[in-house]
Structure 1
Amino acid sequence: MTATSAGNTSSATPDNRRPRRAAGPRPREVPQLLAAIGRDPLTAAIGLYRRYGDLVRVPLLPRRPLFLLCHPAHAEHVLVSRQDNYRKAATYRPLRVFLGDGLVTSEGELWERQRRLIQPLFSHRRVSGFLPGMVGAVRRTLQEWDGQPDGTLVPVSETMSLLTLTIVGEALFGADLRGTGARVSAAVTRMQDFATTAMRNPLLLPAPRLGLRTTPGYRTWRGTVDAVDEVVEQLAAERRRAGSTGQAAGGDLLDALLAARYEDGSAITPGQLRDEIVTFLMAGHETSATVLTWTCYLLAAHPSARRRLEEEVDTVLGGREPELADLDRLVWTKAVLSEAMRLYPPFWTLERDALEDDEIDGVPVPAGSTVAVPPYLVHRHPAAWDNPEGFDPSRFLPGTAPGRPRYAFIPFGGGRRGCVGNVFALLEMTAAIAVIAQRFRLDLVPGGVPRLQPTVTLRPKGGLHMVLRRR
Structure 2
Amino acid sequence: MSAGTTTVRTVTGTRTANGPGPAEAARLLPAIGRDPLNAALGLYRRYGDLVRVPLLPRHTLFLMCHPAHAEHVLVSRQDNYRKAATYRPLRVFLGDGLVTSEGELWERQRRLIQPLFSHRTVSGFLPGMTAQVRGTLDGWDRLPDGSLVHVSETMSLLTLNIVGEALFGADLRGVGERVSSAVTGMQDFAVTAMRNPLLLPAPRLGLRTTPGYRTWRGTVEAIDTVVERLSAERRAHRGPARERPDLLDALLAARYEDGSAIDDAQLRDEIVTFLMAGHETSATVLTWTCYLLGAHPAARRRLEQEVDEVLGGREPELADMDRLVWTKAVISEAMRLYPPFWTLERDAMEDDEIDGVPVPAGSTIAVPPYLVHRHPAAWDNPEGFDPSRFLPGAGQGRPKHAFIPFGGGRRGCVGNVFALLETVSAVAMLAQRFRLDLVPGGVPRVQPTVTLRPRGGLRMVLRRR
1:448 paired residue number: 442
Residue 56 (structure 1) aligned to one of 47, 51, 57: 51
| Aligned residue type for 1:64 | H
Residue 143 of structure 2 is matched in structure 1 by 148
Question: How far has the Cα of 1:59 moved from its partner?
Answer: 0.3
Q: What is the deviation of 1:61?
A: 1.8
Q: How far apart in 2 are the matches of 1:396 and 1:56?
A: 30
Tell me the SS of whatever aligns to 1:66.
Answer: strand
User: Is the contact made by 1:245 and 1:255 (CA closer than 8 Å) also made in structure 2?
Assistant: no
CA RMSD of aligned residues (A): 1.0
Within 5 Å, give how 1:196-211 maps onto structure 2.
196-211=191-206
Q: For structure 2, which runs of at least 5 residues remain unmatched after alignment?
A: none
Aligned partners of 2:105, 2:9: CA distance in 1, in Å? Answer: 30
Q: Deviations over 1:355-400 (max 9, x none)?
A: 0000000000000000000000000000000000000000000000
C-alpha separation between the residues in 2 aligned to 1:62 and 1:395?
44
Task: Tell me by how many angstroms 1:143 deviates.
Answer: 1.0
Q: May I ask how many residue pairs the two structures share in their alignment?
A: 465
Residue equivalent to 1:217: 212
Instruction: Kindly indicate whether residue 259 of structure 2 is the aligned counterpart of residue 265 of structure 1.
Output: yes
Deviations 1:179-210 (A, max 9, x none): 10010000000100010011111111111001
Alignment partner, residue 5 of structure 2:
5
Whether contact under 8 Å (1:244, 1:255) holds in the other structure is no
Report the AA paired with residue 99 of structure 2.
Answer: V
Give CA-to-partner distance per residue, 1:283-313, whole Å, 9 cap, x none: 0000000000000000000000000000000
Q: Check conservation: 1:357, 1:366, Cα contact below 8 A.
A: yes
CA distance in 2 between partners of 1:363 and 1:217 (Å): 41
Q: Tell me how far apart the structure 2 counterparts of residues 250 and 453 of structure 1 sit (CA, whole Å).
A: 38
What residue in structure 1 maps to residue 305 of structure 2? Answer: 311
Q: Give the superposition deviation at 1:19.
A: 1.8
Structure 2 counterpart of 1:45, from 36, 40, 43: 40
Given the superposition, is the C-alpha separation of residues 246 and 320 from structure 1 closer, same or farther in structure 2, using an over 3 Å criterion? closer
**Equivalent pair of 1:245/1:251 in contact (CA under 8 Å):** no
Percent of paired sites with the same residue: 83
One-letter code of the match for 1:128?
S
Residues 217 and 71 (structure 1), Cα distance of their counterparts in 2 relative to 1, 3 Å cut: same
Counterparts of 1:216 and 1:39, CA distance in 2: 18
Match of 1:305, SS state, is helix
Asked if 1:378 is matched to 2:372, the reply is yes
1:300 alignment counterpart: 294
Q: Which residue of structure 2 lines up, in the alignment, with residue 193 of structure 1?
A: 188
Alpha carbons of structure 1 residues 244 and 259: separation in structure 2 relative to 1, 3 Å: farther
Match of 1:101 in 2: 96
TM-score, normalising length: structure 2:
0.99
Shift of 1:30: 1.9
In the alignment, the residues of structure 2 paired with residue 24 and residue 288 of structure 1 have an alpha-carbon distance, to the nearest angstrom, of 35
For the residues of structure 2 that align with 1:245 and 1:376, how far apart are their CA atoms?
46
Out of 240, 245, 256, the residue aligned to residue 250 of structure 2 is 256
Partner of residue 424, structure 2: 430
Match of 1:407?
401
Query: Pick from 152, 163, 167: which aligns with 1:168?
Result: 163
CA distance in structure 2 between the aligned counterparts of 1:81 and 1:434, rounded to whole angstroms:
37
Choose which of 132, 136, 161 in structure 1 pairs with 2:131: 136
Answer yes or no: is 1:281 the counterpart of 2:280.
no
Q: Which residue is equivalent to 1:229?
A: 224
Secondary structure of the equivalent of 2:5? coil
Instruction: Write the letter of the residue equivalent to 1:371.
Output: I
Q: Aligned-pair distance for 1:245?
A: 4.9
Q: Could you tell me which amino acid in structure 2 is paired with residue 145 of structure 1?
A: W
After superposition, the Cα gap between the structure-2 partners of 1:244 and 1:21, relative to the gap in structure 1 and judged at 3 Å, is farther
User: Shift of the alpha carbon at 1:31?
Assistant: 2.2
Report SS of the residue matched to 1:65. strand
Look up the SS of the partner of 1:435 in the other structure. Answer: helix
- In the alignment, residue 285 of structure 1 is paired with which amino acid? H
Q: Distance in 1 between matches of 2:241 and 2:109?
A: 17
Q: CA deviation at 1:278?
A: 0.1
Q: Which runs of 5+ in 1 are unaligned?
A: none
Q: Is 2:22 the counterpart of 1:27?
A: yes
Preserved contact between residue 332 and residue 393 of structure 1 (Cα < 8 Å)? yes
Aligned: 1:77 with 2:72: yes
Quote how far apart the aligned CAs of 1:6 are. 1.2
What TM-score does the superposition give when structure 1 sets the normalisation length? Answer: 0.98
Q: Per-residue displacement from partner, 1:391-430 (whole Å, max 9, x unpaired)? A: 0000000000210000000000000000000000000000
Match of 1:112 in 2: 107
The letter of the residue matching 1:151 is G
- Quote the Cα distance in structure 2 between the aligned partners of 1:211 and 1:147: 44
Per-residue deviation, 1:212: 2.1
Residues in 2 aligned to 1:37 and 1:244: alpha-carbon distance in whole angstroms? 53
Aligned match of 1:352 in 346, 352, 356?
A: 346
Secondary structure, counterpart of 1:60 in structure 2: strand
Residues 244 and 258, structure 1, Cα contact 8 Å, conserved in 2: no
1:377 to 1:245, Cα distance in 2 relative to 1, 3 A: farther
Letter in 2 for 1:347: F
Using the alignment, how far apart are the partners of 1:329 and 1:412 within structure 2? 23
